[in-house]
């Protein structure tokens, strides 16, 4: 990692992961305790609304009812991210932060699966095919940022030295 020790990388990734986990768990607790069950709460009329749903499967309700499978898969992903960060096999601070977001989102949804038996989703966007939560958003943004970090590193490595 360009100029970043494994200790610094681990601290950055852990900090991002904990921030994502805390924000996601707080937002889900708020949604479960505040939003009326089975009803839409418009945020931006016709475009964004809140509706609490639970999901024991993957995105789009795939493999619904196979919560145990997603517990195992999520554990593997979170552990793999930790190994990547600790072995300094990640490119720069952007890549480390991106992996922290992925790990934090995965850990938060994992916590839901273990505690509640399913993941709490509550954000719905017009023409987006499924409800989601902050953890899901952090995972997707983390994946995109990690790809950007890899592309930037490839570009840097190609420059004549």
**According to the model, what pLDDT value does residue 2 have?**
53
Q: What HEC string does the chain produce?
A: CCCCCHHHHHHHHHHHHHHHHHHHHHHHHHHHHHCCCCCCEEEECCCEEEEEEEECCCHHHCCCCCHHHHHHHHHHHHHHHHHHHHCCCCCHHHHHHHHHHHHHHHHHHHHHHHHHCCEEEEEEECCCCCCECHHHHHHHHHHHHHHHHHHHHHHHHHCCC
Confidence of residue 65 (pLDDT cuts 50, 70, 90): confident
Annotated catalytic, 121?
A: yes
Confidence of residue 11 (pLDDT cuts 50, 70, 90): very high
Q: What percent of the chain has pLDDT over 70?
A: 93
Does 63 score more than 90 pLDDT? Answer: no
Mean pLDDT of 5-26: 94
Rounded-to-integer distance, Cα 140 and Cα 138, Å:
6
Decide which of 157 and 17 is more confident: 17
**According to the model, what pLDDT value does residue 161 have?**
58
Does 110 score more than 90 pLDDT? Answer: yes
Confidence of residue 75 (pLDDT cuts 50, 70, 90): very high
CB atoms within 10 A of CB 124: 18
Does 32 score more than 70 pLDDT? Answer: yes
Catalytic residue among 24, 40, 112, 121: 121
Q: What percent of the chain has pLDDT over 90?
A: 63
Annotated catalytic, 112?
A: no
Q: Which residues contact 69 (CB under 8 A, 6 or more apart)?
A: 63
Rounded-to-integer distance, Cα 22 and Cα 95, Å:
21
For residue 136, count CB atoms less than 10 angstroms from its CB and return exposed for 0-12, middle for 13-18, buried for 19 or more.
Answer: buried
Catalytic residue among 40, 112, 136, 157: 136
**According to the model, what pLDDT value does residue 89 have?**
66
């Amino acid at each position: 990692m360009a100029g970043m020790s494994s200790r610094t990388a681990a601290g950055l990734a852990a900090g991002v992961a904990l921030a994502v986990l805390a924000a996601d768990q707080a937002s889900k607790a708020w949604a479960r305790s505040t939003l009326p069950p089975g009803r839409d709460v418009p945020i931006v009329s016709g475009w964004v609304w809140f509706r609490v749903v639970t999901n024991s499967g993957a995105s789009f309700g795939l493999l619904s009812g196979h919560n145990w499978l997603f517990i195992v898969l999520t554990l593997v992903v979170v552990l793999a991210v930790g190994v990547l960060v600790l072995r300094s096999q990640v490119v720069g601070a952007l890549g480390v932060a991106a992996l922290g977001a992925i790990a934090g989102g995965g850990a938060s949804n994992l916590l839901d699966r273990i505690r509640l038996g399913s993941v709490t989703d509550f954000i719905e966007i017009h023409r987006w095919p499924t409800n989601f939560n902050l953890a899901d958003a952090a995972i997707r943004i983390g994946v995109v940022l990690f790809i950007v970090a890899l592309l930037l590193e490839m570009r840097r490595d190609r420059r004549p030295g």
